[in-house]
Amino acid sequence: MSAVTSEELQQAWQKVKHAKTLPDPPTIKLPLFSIKTPIKTRLIGIQHVINTLEYNYTGTQYFDVNKNRSFKSIVSTAKDIVNETLPIQCLEAVFLASYLTANASDLERFPISFKSIAGTNVHRHIILAVRYQHNKWGALGLSRSDKLMYKELKYASLSELIQDFCHEFELLYHRVLKVYVGFPFSHDIHSSEKVEWRVMNISLEFNEWTDAAQHFDSFAKDAVDILAYKKSKGVLPESFAAKFLLHTPESESGASKNAIKSPDKRRLTFSPSTFEFPPAGYEEDDAAADSLKAGEASPEKDLPKPILVAPDRLEFKPTLALRGNLRS
């Protein structure tokens, strides 16, 4: 299809200006679910709403994509997305999905972010991982690739879901460098608590997939308790670092101090084919590569915070993450 000239665009604009009748702007009709509606049907309906908006290829962001704010503020943006019906990208899709699933109390929703590289270009993607009744996992989201968004509620673990995404990245000639897992979203759309998007950050460059997978699944199991502790004490439990040895805090750049860097552990397999990671000295500045520009946090009213009861220490059983040398 040939490009539209400036003159043709001006002529089309004049026709619109002088048109006596114009169709009403498109609107989205949100699906209505009863308490008996199967969860898979609900998720398909919510994904259909996201797909209806379509992916934003314009290069212009129509909505506030600042993540450093409360869930209440994110819900407000999600409502704007529904009302405006303008194209969105992956982050806005997660905003919308978290809002539309908020009333499903038996559905846990975790933000999962991927940092990948294709050629010399660094890319970032985010989806909403969902787990129903502590059982099967799936995902909601939006992408230019239909393989990097919706996932049916069928995965036995969070690591299995993440591995499937990594495999799809590989098929698109991307190499996944890091995976970030956040705390589960609140079900209270009026919550003034800030959403925490990157609580556990795992580099896949130099770590065995088996070890990384155990970290993902262990975090998914304990996330609710860890979140309650942090809300009560203001910090992660002291045992967090000992339990999640491969975790790289946001303040650190490059590979984790605990990452396994021996030459025989620099290959990661997500499918029958394998791919090589960059040289051991390769480092990427997360902040510089991030395509999302953080704005000012939205002002929040002072609301009474709930009283949370948590033990003085949150103890974990010794991790099995670094035992053995199994390959996936």
Q: CB 237: neighbour CB atoms within 10 A?
A: 21
Least confident of 33-37, 147-151, 164-168: 33-37
What residue ranges in 133-256 does DSSP mark as E strands?
A: 137-140, 151-155, 175-181, 200-203
Phi then psi dihedrals of residue 206, to 5 deg: -125, 10
Q: What is the pLDDT of residue 254?
A: 41
Report the sign of the C-alpha dihedral through residues 315, 187, 132, 136, in that order: negative
Q: Which residues of 174-212 are buried (b: 16+ CB within 10 A; e: fewer)?
A: bbbbbbbbbbbbbbebebbbbbebbbbbbbbbbbbbbbb
**Cα-based distances in Å from 153 to 56, 107, 127, 231, 249:** 26, 11, 14, 30, 30
Q: Is 166 a catalytic residue?
A: no
Q: Which residue has the higher pLDDT, 169 or 281?
A: 169
Q: What's the chain's average pLDDT?
A: 82
Mean pLDDT of 253-279: 41
**Cα-based distances in Å from 271 to 97, 167, 174, 227, 325:** 29, 6, 13, 34, 19
Three-state SS at 46: helix
Q: What is the pLDDT of residue 28?
A: 87
pLDDT over 90 (residue 261): no
Q: Is 203 a catalytic residue?
A: no
Per-residue pLDDT tens digits for 3-57? 778 898 898 888 888 888 888 777 888 988 988 999 999 999 999 999 999 999 9
Phi then psi dihedrals of residue 305, to 5 deg: -90, 145
Residue type, 187: H
Confidence of residue 250 (pLDDT cuts 50, 70, 90): confident
Confidence of residue 307 (pLDDT cuts 50, 70, 90): very low
Per-residue pLDDT tens digits for 88-105? 999 999 999 999 999 999
Percent of the chain with pLDDT over 90: 63
Least confident of 32-36, 176-180, 242-246, 301-305: 301-305
Nearest to 90 by CA among 161, 146, 155, 39: 146
pLDDT over 70 (residue 116): yes
Q: What is the pLDDT of residue 22?
A: 80
Least confident of 116-130, 161-175, 260-274: 260-274
Give residue limits of the domains in the chain: 35-273
Phi then psi dihedrals of residue 7, to 5 deg: -65, -40
Q: Which residue has the higher pLDDT, 193 or 9?
A: 193
Q: Which residue has the higher pLDDT, 12 or 197?
A: 197
Question: Of the listed 70, 113, 125, 159, which one is catalytic?
Answer: 125
Task: Give the Cα-Cα-Cα angle 85, 67, 255 (nearest 5 degrees).
Answer: 130
Q: What is the pLDDT of residue 268?
A: 52
Q: What is the pLDDT of residue 34?
A: 87
Nearest to 245 by CA among 190, 194, 287, 208: 208
Q: Which residue has the higher pLDDT, 222 or 301?
A: 222
Report the alpha-carbon distance of residue 113 to residue 62 in Å, rounded.
21
pLDDT over 70 (residue 79): yes
Question: Of the listed 90, 191, 203, 256, which one is catalytic?
Answer: 90
Least confident of 48-52, 137-141, 155-159, 268-272: 268-272
